[in-house]
Structure 1
Amino acid sequence: MKSICNQIQTTVTIAAVASMATIINLPSANAASYRLDWTGNQGYSAQGSFSYDNALQGSIVTKDQLDRFSISFFDPQGKLLQSFKYNSRNVSSIANFNFDTVTASVLQTGNFDTSNGFDLGSNFNTDVVGFFFYTYQNPDVGLSTATIFLKDDLSPEVCNTFPNCRLDNGGQLTATLIPEPGTLLGLLMVGSFSRLLKKKPASI
C-alpha cells in the first residue's frame, strides 16, 4: 500500500512539474517593465514605472518609444504630493526621458533638455505650479555636473542655502526590472514542488 501511495505521489509530482515547465516556457508578453525610484538629500522621493517593446532591447529608449510611463512624488513623511501618468500616444514635447536598455539605467548626466538628461513632472513652459523633476547642469552657477532637482516653483536652482533649496536635490533615479508574471508564477511553483518532493510519504 505504501508503495502504491509513493507511485501516485511521484506521478502527480511529475505531471505538476511538466505543467509548470509548460507555463514557464509560454511566450511572454512582448514588453519590458521597470520600476523607478529616487530619494533626494532632504528625504523627498519619487516612485514610478515604465515599459517598452522588447524589440527595442539593445538601444536607448526615448519617451516617444515608451508603452506607458507614470511617476509619483512624496514628501519625507511619505505623503503623496502629485502623480503624473503619461499617455504614450500624446507625450508632452517638453518631457524628456532616456533609458539605456543595455545597462538598465536612466540617463541623467546631462542637462534636462539633452539626450543624457530628463525632464518630468510639470511643464516649465506652461505650468507655474506643480512639481518639476529634472536634471540641471550649469557651471556658471556652480553646477559643473548634472544634479537632479525636485521643485514646486521656478526659483533658481542654486539658492543662498544651497543645497537646501526647495524642495530637494541630489540622489540617483534608478530603474529595477519587474519580473514577468509567468516568471513569478514559475518561481512560486518551483518552491512549492521542491517542498513536496522533500516531504516524506505518510506511513500506512
Structure 2
Amino acid sequence: MATNTIISPAIPSMPAYHSTFLNEPDTRVVGNFAVMPLRTKFRGPAYPTADDYDILDEILDLFRANSFFRNFEIKGPADRTLIYGILFITDCLSALATKAGGPPPLTEAGRVLNTLALEHFSIPGDPGFPLNSLYLAPRDRSEADLLRAYLSQFRQELAVRLLARVYSDGADKPSKYWIAFTRRRFMNKSLTSS
C-alpha cells in the first residue's frame, strides 16, 4: 500500500520544490497519480490545457534543482506526477550520455528518446514498477489502460520538450549543463530496473 511517508530533506535549510499544481480543482487521479492536462500534439487521454504552463514545463523547470534531493515529501498526486517526470528525464539524459561515441547529434537524439518514450514500461501496480511503495495501483483494467495511455503521451511530449532544452543553442551538441545531471539520481531511484 502506498503511503505519504514524510521524509526529511537531505539539506534541511533548503527544501525540495513541490508541484504548483497540488491544489488544482477537478484533477483526475488514477491510483494516486494525477492525470494532468497537457499542451501536446501527441494523441492520448490527457485533456488539453488552455494555459501556457503545464505540468511538463514545471517538471523541466524543477528537474535540476530537485535532482540534488534524495528524499522528498509527497504532498499530493501532482507531486507523484512530478516525481515520475523527473525520473523519466534522468532516464532520457542517461540514454543520451551512454550512446557509443558520446552524446548524439539532435536528429539521432530525437530517435533515441522517441524509442525510450514508446518502449514497454511498467505502471504503478505492475510487478516491475520500481516505485510501487509510493504509488497505488489503478483500481481496474480500464484505469490501468487510461494510465498507460496517459504515460505514453506524457513521455513522448516530455522527451520532445527536453530535447528542445538540451539542444537549445541549435548545435548538434547537447548542453553540458543538462548532460552533467546524468550522475544525479533524484530520491536515489530510477524508472528502469538497472
TM-score by length of 2: 0.25
Q: Which structure has the larger Rg?
A: 1
| Higher RCO (CA < 8 A, seq sep 6+) | 2
The structure carrying a bigger strand percent of its residues is 1
Task: Tell me which protein shows more helix as a share of its residues.
Answer: 2
